[in-house]
Each structure stands twice: as structure tokens, then as C-alpha cells.
A and B are shown apart, each in its own frame.
Chain A
Amino acid sequence: MTSHVLGTQLLYGGSGILLVLLGLWSFLVHAPLLRKLIAINVMGAGVFHLLVAIAYRGIDTPPDPVPHALVLTGIVVAVSATALALAFGKRLDRDGD
């Protein structure tokens, strides 16, 4: 593996891990549901970032398809989970009035 590929992977993978940590911090510190949900989605984006970085094999080589498939599935799961959490939140808001 060339140093170019490795450098790119490190840059994107590293920022992915940074996003995960930022999301985790925000998830643990903030109480409001919306902030927690955004935080968990930032975490998810970080993990996907890392997976996309793993798939990169250089500018001339096609990327590894497996991590891409994982990211696509992961996005679907994250959207459904967010939707369910929002539905719960809406129910709580309505009952609170």
C-alpha cells in the first residue's frame, strides 16, 4: 500500500474517530432528546466515515465494496432508529401539554 493511500486513510479514518468521540461526549453530556439524537447520528456518521476510509484503495483502484454495503445498511438502520426515537419524543411532548 502506498504512503498516499495510507495518509488519506489515516486522515479520513482519524476524523471519523474524532466524530465518534465528539458524538459520544455530546450524547453523555446533553439531556434534551433532540441533542442526544443528533449526537448519536454524529457518532454514526463517524463510524461510516471510518468504514469509507477503510474501503479506499487509491485513486486508480476501485474501492472495496464490502464496507460500502455496510455503510448503506448502517444508514438505513440509523434512519429507522432516529424515526422511532422522534416518534417517542413526539408522544411525550403531546402528553406533556
Chain B
Amino acid sequence: MIDALPLAVTLPLIGALAVTVWPAHARGLGLAGALITAVSALTVTTEVWSRGALRADLGGWGAPLGIALEADGLSAAFLAMANLVALAVSVYAGGYFKRETARHFWPLWLLLWSALNGLFLAADLFNLYVTLELLGLSAAALGALTGTREAVAANLRYLLVGLLGSMSYLLGVALVYAAYGVLDIGLVAEAVEPGPVAWTAMTLMIGGLILKAALFPMHFWLPPAHANAPAPVSAALSALVVKAAFYLALRLWLDVFAPVLGEAAANLLGILGAGAVVWGSWRALRAERLKLLAAYSTVAQMGYLFIAFPLLAATPPGLARENLLAAVVLLALTHGFAKAGLFLAAGMVQKTAGHDRIDELGGAAQALPAATFAIGLAGVALIGLPPSGTFLAKWMMLEQAMILGLWWWLVVMMVGTLLAAAYIFRVLSRAFNREPTPYRFVNDASTELPALLLGLIATFGLGIAAQPLWRLLEQGAFG
């Protein structure tokens, strides 16, 4: 049987080449590429589920010289979320882009997808750098697809910030290699020991990644870049690209630098996360445009993920820590589905109404019931109302914070939740204004159904059926 691991990375790459060679068939080829990529990635997840961690040494060259791909529970969980969201985004994009833009969209989009899958599966620090750069380059190019001055300026800034982040990460990789002579995550984890070199490398690498994950106060580049991109691109940037940087930070934290970590570093990340929750939610509440609201909400939601670091650092190894880790991953996955759904639905509203100013959304619920319903569903998951995955995840994080006696994180999460409720209800209350007669529930199946499905998964799928995630995360590769 052909190994599914390399396929998940190479299939979108081949697809990107195919749509570049035959731009006239970009849409059909792109959709086909999207479908087989998602199938191959989900195969990886199911194999990890049933057989445990997978590893593939490309070309038969093993570590330390060769390029290895590896999937364990953590990467398989992110891989499944990313590929389902990317598939929904692809279907949406198939109906969203006109012929000329589609030619530019599909090659970049499949390239981004390939980088994303590569990032989740790469097993050595340098290949992670390459995938990180590919992701940043294709994301910035996609974000500027509309060609407006604001979009180009915002994405130029995003590109430069991303480059700075990758440079910092690469310097950390160079230090790791200088000190230990290996790059494979498993081998580095064995060799790493507390000391100034490991500490500096960790600071440089995680510092670079939080720049890319838009952690407060390094979030300044995110709202303009995400709010000015075309809707499907915004969805992918907000749901997947920043999440990839978070995944890598979590991976380094858990598997590579675990012996080096102090509580001070974890608390610093937690404090920045708390700042992100409060500031991001506040700006989302004050935003005038729906897409800007969604972008600031991403800043806030990334904050919750970083609040997990001090909680994880304070929890002794055992069942409680495993539960907490699963809760954090569940939060990240739910946000991926919910935010993608919100952006896709917002794009539909923008396309129909010609604008996305929140104060003038009156009647949107009647004109676009499915899109409004999707916004509502995604909102339920963003606030963290039951039965969404966010509810379960936040509940477990709050419970653990209480057990540890770290009540201040609890306050921050409560404030963030209240503000989230306020900004979501602000949109919904406007959307339900005026215009009594409903028209049709679904107006444009290919663009509305993906948004709806993502909202449904975030609210019902991950909340009621979250149990499998726990089992999947038991499949650790690095110990």
C-alpha cells in the first residue's frame, strides 16, 4: 500500500502544479485536488487512530540526514481539522471566485494547503522552517488577491512580520544544531538539557512563532490582513494559518523544550494570552465591519490557547494534564471550524449586501437565512455556549484553573466569554432587524453549505462527539 503520509503533502503540490499548467481548468482541477488531498489526510488521521503514530523516511533516508514525516495524535487531530476546513473553503471558493481570480487563487491555495499539511507532519526542525516560510509566502500572496491598496499594504506588512518571525525561528534552529548536532524532533528532545543555549534557542523559536500566531501585542498585523482578504482566504488565514504557528509552539513546548521550561516563561505567555483575550474581544465589540470583528475575535481566541501554557506548566503529569491538553486542542479545533464558518458566512453577506457594515445588516436574516444561521452557530462556538466544543474545552480549563488555585485566569476567561457574547449578539440583533418575510433558507448552496457545515461541526460535532479526540491524542510519538 502507498504510504498516506507523503501523499498528504505531495498531492496538493501536484494539484498546484496542475492548475498552474492548465489554468483554464483551474476550478475543476483545483476541486479534484482538494478532494483527494482531504481524503489522503483523513486516511492519515484514521491510521493514527487505529494503529498509533506513523513515520515515513522519504526516499529511504533516515534521520539524521533524511527528511522524515511523522504523525502522532496531536498532529493527526490538527491535520483532520485543517483538511476538513480546507475542503469546505475549496467548495466555497469554487463558487466564489470569477474566472480570472480563480486562476490566481487555486495554485496559491493548493500550495498553502501543501505547506500546512507538511507543517503538521514534518518531523525535523528545519523542515518545519521551510513549511513555515512556504505557508507565510502563500498566505500573504493569497491575502492580497483582491489587489486593493489596503489589502496589498496589509499583506506586505504581514509578509515582513512573518519573515522576521521565521528569521528568529531559524536562528533558534541554528543554535540547536550547533549545540546538539541533530534536527529531528525526537533526537533533539533526547539531547536537550537546561542551559543558556537551550533557553536562548527556545526563546528565539517560540518568540518567532508567537509573532506568526499574532499573540497580543504582536497581533497588529492580523486584523487588516485578515479583514481585507477575499472571504475564503480570510477563513483559511484565521482558522488555519495562525493555528499552525500555535500548533508548532505547542509541539516545541511539549516535546522539545519540556526540560528547559520554567514557570516564568509559561506565565509570560499566559499574561500575553490574557491581554489578547481582553483587548481582542474589546476591539471585536467595537468593530464596525463584520470581517474586522471576526479578525479581532481571532486575536482573542488565540489568547485563550496561550492561557493554557501556564495551566499546563502548573499541572503535574497525569490524567488531569492529559485532559487539559485535550481541552486546549479541542478549543483550537473548534475555533478552526467556527471561525472558518463565520468568515465564509460573512463573505456571503458581503457579496449579497455589497458591504459588511454591522450597523446596516438589517434584514440579513430574512434575505440570507442560511448564512445568518451559520453566523449564529459559529457564534455559539466562539462564545462557548453548550453544546459547542468550546464550552467543553473552556469548562475543563476553568475547572483545572480552580483546582490549581490560579483564579485570575478564570476571571480573564469569564470576561472574554462575556465580551464574545456581546459582540456576537450585536451582529445577530442587527441581522434580525426589519423585513418580515423570509425568502429562501439556502440561496447559494455551494457557498452557504460549507459555512453551515463548519458551524454545525463546531457547535454540535465537536461538543457532543469530542470523545474520539482523547483517544487520538493518546497516540504520542515523542514520548
Using a CB–CB distance below 8 Å, which chain A residues touch chain B? 13, 20, 24, 27, 33, 36, 40, 43-44, 47, 50-51, 54, 66-67, 70, 73-74, 77, 80-81, 84-85, 88-89, 91-92, 95
B63 to chain A, nearest CB (A): 11
Q: A66-B177, A77-B130 are in contact. Are A92 and B164 (CB under 8 A)?
A: no
Q: List, in ascending order, chain B residues with CB within 8 A of A80's CB.
A: 137
Q: Does B47 contact A (CB under 8 A)?
A: no
B160 in contact with A40 (CB, 8 Å): yes
Q: A50-B174, A84-B140 are in contact. Are A92 and B149 (CB under 8 A)?
A: yes
Q: Does B141 contact A (CB under 8 A)?
A: yes
Using a CB–CB distance below 8 Å, which chain B residues touch chain A? 64-65, 126, 129-130, 133, 136-137, 140-141, 144, 147, 149, 152-153, 155-156, 159-160, 163-164, 166-167, 170-171, 173-174, 177-178, 183
Q: Closest chain A residue to B64 by CB distance?
A: A66
- 5 interchain pairs (CB within 8 A)? A43-B167, A44-B170, A73-B130, A74-B129, A84-B137
B155 in contact with A44 (CB, 8 Å): no
B162 to chain A, nearest CB (A): 8
Q: List, in ascending order, chain B residues with CB within 8 A of A85's CB.
A: 156, 159-160, 163
A44 in contact with B167 (CB, 8 Å): yes
Q: Within the complex, which residue of A13, A33, A51 is in contact with B156, where a contact is CB–CB below 8 Å?
A: A33
B148 to chain A, nearest CB (A): 9
B191 to chain A, nearest CB (A): 15
Q: A54-B178, A66-B177, A80-B137 are in contact. Are A92 and B171 (CB under 8 A)?
A: no
Q: How far is the CA of A40 from the CA of B140 in the complex (A)?
A: 17
Q: List, in ascending order, chain B residues with CB within 8 A of A95's CB.
A: 149, 152
Q: How far is the CA of A33 from the CA of B147 in the complex (A)?
A: 18
Q: Closest chain B residue to A9 by CB distance?
A: B178
Q: How far is the CA of A66 from the CA of B170 in the complex (A)?
A: 14
Which of A20, A27, A77: most chain B Cβ within 10 A? A77
Q: A77-B133, A81-B137, A84-B137 are in contact. Are A70 and B126 (CB under 8 A)?
A: yes
